[in-house]
Amino acid sequence: MNTNSNKTVVVAMSGGVDSSVAAALLKEQGYNLIGITMKTWGYDDLPVNDSGCCSLEAIYNAGNVAAKLGIPHYTFDFTERFNQIVIENFITEYMSGQTPNPCVLCNKTIKWGVLLDRAKELGAGFIATGHYAKINSEDGRYYVSNSKDERKDQTYALWRVSQEALSRTLFPLGDFKKPEIRKIAESLDLKTANEPDSQEICFVPNNDYRQLLEARIQGIKEKLSRGEIIYNNQKVGEHKGFPYYTIGQRKGLNLALGKPVYVTKIDAEGNRVYIDDEQGLYKKGFIAKEINLMKYANIKNPMKANVKIRYKDKGSVAAIEQTDNDTVKVIFDEPKKSITPGQSAVFYDDDDVIGGGVIREIID
């Protein structure tokens, strides 16, 4: 694990309480700190959230905390790269019938990509964030492990971070729970002590991704509406555009079938949305692509793991098998509900992240 060698650390300061206390804890431990806030979306090019990370208020709050701690603070504009990598991928995935997780891609390419490169330019040996996670190392491999605060744990969103990046990362909050962090912030009289937790994707207006798609893709409603909704191989209605639907969705289908039905499949190529009874949401497993392994360099033999398929998922026991350098096959011990293509799947060995991948193919 990384130890304090009085090296320079770039602290990603989002303007929230977690990154603020992360900086305070590291300063107390004797590190030489540089606070950096990343501006990752524009304020005029599309309707975005006016609060949360990257907002003008957040940048001001981060600067205020840095001044209070007596450390330098800079705001870097990563808008172009963020737009090219994260937002464009988000739109492409939805237009392909997938449901993406942009925070995972942002962590890999922006926080542990562009920011890490900037940290190196500034002569910093490490970067630090306010994530609730721990870093461990064994046999030359770095991996993230669950934090003390199970409710706030963020290891699920970190599976794509590379070995080299993890070796240069500090997570000061891994051994704390959120109430403890707020108490520390209050004791230090930090401006962010009572800042509410961010619950939304930073670039999605009003937490409604449909607004983003409509702002970026002119005429999307006209292009995609009037596609078929299929139930038991028969057309039972028309959808409003397949990107507006997600696996497991029940509300907003505008169907009168006399019983609850759910979206079970999205066919982008055929412009169809498939629905079924609740039982139809349960599947045996899936194929994950674009994998990144942490704890082990590869999975030599099929093994049991706890597999999470969404952020709030507590995980389910499954057999995982690496079939090539980019693919893991997952079969659950019991059928799993609402497996969603495009979402991240993360494999755990007790508290440790084995690795993860993107769900691409469902196994019935």
Are the C-beta atoms of 286 and 344 separated by less than 8 Å?
A: no
Give the homologous superfamily in CATH for domain 8-207.
Answer: HUPs (3.40.50.620)
Number of Cβ within 10 Å of residue 155's Cβ equals 25
| Span of 113-117, 192-196, 271-275 with lowest mean pLDDT | 192-196
User: Region 2-30: what's the mean pLDDT?
Assistant: 87
Give the active site residue among 53, 54, 103, 106: 106
Pairing of strands 169-170, 126-128: parallel
Q: What is the pLDDT of residue 323?
A: 97
pLDDT tens readout for residues 338-362 = 999 999 999 999 999 999 999 999 9
Q: What is the pLDDT of residue 215?
A: 87
Stated pTM of the model = 0.93
> Is residue 54 annotated as part of the catalytic site, yes or no?
no
> Higher-confidence residue: 148 or 49?
148
> Is residue 202 annotated as part of the catalytic site, yes or no?
yes
Phi and psi for 25 in degrees, rounded to 5? -65, -40
pLDDT tens readout for residues 86-136 = 999 999 999 999 999 999 999 999 999 999 999 999 999 999 999 999 999
If you average pLDDT over every residue of the chain, what do you get? 92
Q: What is the pLDDT of residue 195?
A: 87
Are the C-beta atoms of 107 and 161 separated by less than 8 Å?
A: yes
Length of the chain equals 364
The domain limits of the chain are 8-207, 221-276, 281-363
CATH class of the domain whose range is 281-363 = mainly beta
CATH fold of 221-276: SH3 type barrels. (2.30.30)
Give the active site residue among 53, 54, 103, 202: 202
Among residues 184, 181, 271, 291, the alpha carbon closest in space to that of 230 is found at: 271
Tell me: pLDDT of 51 over 60: no
pLDDT tens readout for residues 218-270 = 888 777 878 999 999 999 999 999 999 999 999 999 999 999 999 999 999 99
